[in-house]
Amino acid sequence: MCDTCGCSDSAVRITDHTHTVVMEQDILAKNDELAEHNRAHLRASDVFAINLMSSPGAGKTTLLERTIRALGVPCAVIEGDQETLLDAERIKATGAPVVQINTGAGCHLDAAMLHRALHALAPARGSTLFIENVGNLVCPALFDLGEAARVVILSVTEGPGKPVKYPHMFAATDLVLLNKVDLLPYVDFDVAEFERDVRRVNPSAALLQVSATRGDGLTDWYDWLRRPARS
């Protein structure tokens, strides 16, 4: 017997020189637990939380500015950004409550960051909460925040093959928004091929084409946000 590692624990096997401690534990268990805590908070206060993800510059903030003004439902925003307050200030101008999380070197939000932000923001009962994740198509996909739905935005200026190159992001989303469709006449982007690529990694996600600046497709986006399934 030895005290260093809790030998009395039945999961500990003792050999001559070492103890093997069987852990069988998910690496992200702590994040996932906290995400469930967030999810329970959000559900209890009837807040519909959306984790909004894209590469940098796909149009997340532009879409949010417009959505908040048009949706007709109380909105609140949590802005994840590596350094600046710029996006939060743009949101503040719409009148919606906003909290900024600066991740510094971190390239994604995690459930602990969202938890702190939720307590700081305390979104109103019945509101829609948009969480603008850090612009990045890789890391945010791995971290459950406790959201009710995930939305991935891709813009037509980003070129082909993204769903297949970043399958985790596209596989785990509920809705894919193809943004900047007003630029389709000027760029070489094959919408049908894009939709086929999305289907290859995610057969069930909803797909909408929008322009956050010109307004194309936004009625469908608002309908999706108000869908009854949100409860």
Residues that bind Zn ion (CB under 5 A): 60-61, 87, 107-108, 139
Is residue 17 part of the contact set for another protein (CB under 8 A)? yes
Q: Work out the burial of residue 49: count CB atoms within 10 Å of its CB; fewer than 13 is exposed, 13-18 middle, 19 or more buried.
A: buried
- Rounded to whole angstroms, the Cα distance separating 101 from 212 reads 24
Among 9, 30, 57, 160, binds ligand GTP (CB under 6 A): 57
Q: Please, which of residues 45-104 interact with another protein by CB under 8 A?
A: none
Cβ 228 to ligand GTP shortest distance, Å: 28
Among 97, 111, 130, 135, binds ligand GTP (CB under 6 A): 135
Residue whose CB is nearest to ligand GTP in the complex, by number: 135
Residue 179 · residue 156 · CB < 8 Å: yes
From another protein, Zn ion, ligand GTP, none, interface partner of 30 (C-beta below 5 to 8 A by class): another protein
Among 50, 77, 101, 141, binds another protein (CB under 8 A): 141
Residue 59 · residue 152 · CB < 8 Å: no
In sequence order, what are the residues at sequence separation of 6 or more whose Cβ sits closer than 8 angstroms to the Cβ of residue 50? 128, 129, 130, 131, 147, 148, 149, 150, 151, 225
Could you tell me the sign of the dihedral formed by the alpha carbons of 61, 66, 69, 72, in that order?
negative
In order of 31, 54, 104, 199, the CA distances from 184 in angstroms are: 39, 19, 34, 21
Q: Please, which of residues 165-204 interact with another protein by CB under 8 A?
A: 167-168, 171, 199-203
Comparison of 122 and 138: residue with beta carbon closer to another protein: 138
- Tokens representing 87 are 């996006």
Cβ 54 to ligand GTP shortest distance, Å: 5
Residue whose CB is nearest to Zn ion in the complex, by number: 139
- Rounded to whole angstroms, the Cα distance separating 152 from 197 reads 14
- Rounded to whole angstroms, the Cα distance separating 42 from 194 reads 33
Cβ 59 to Zn ion shortest distance, Å: 8
- Rounded to whole angstroms, the Cα distance separating 29 from 168 reads 19
Comparison of 43 and 199: residue with beta carbon closer to another protein: 199
From Zn ion, ligand GTP, another protein, none, interface partner of 83 (C-beta below 5 to 8 A by class): none
List contacts with another protein (CB under 8 A): 2, 4-6, 17-31, 106-108, 110, 138-139, 141-143, 164, 167-168, 171, 199-203
List contacts with ligand GTP (CB under 6 A): 54, 56-62, 87, 135, 179-180, 182-183, 211-213
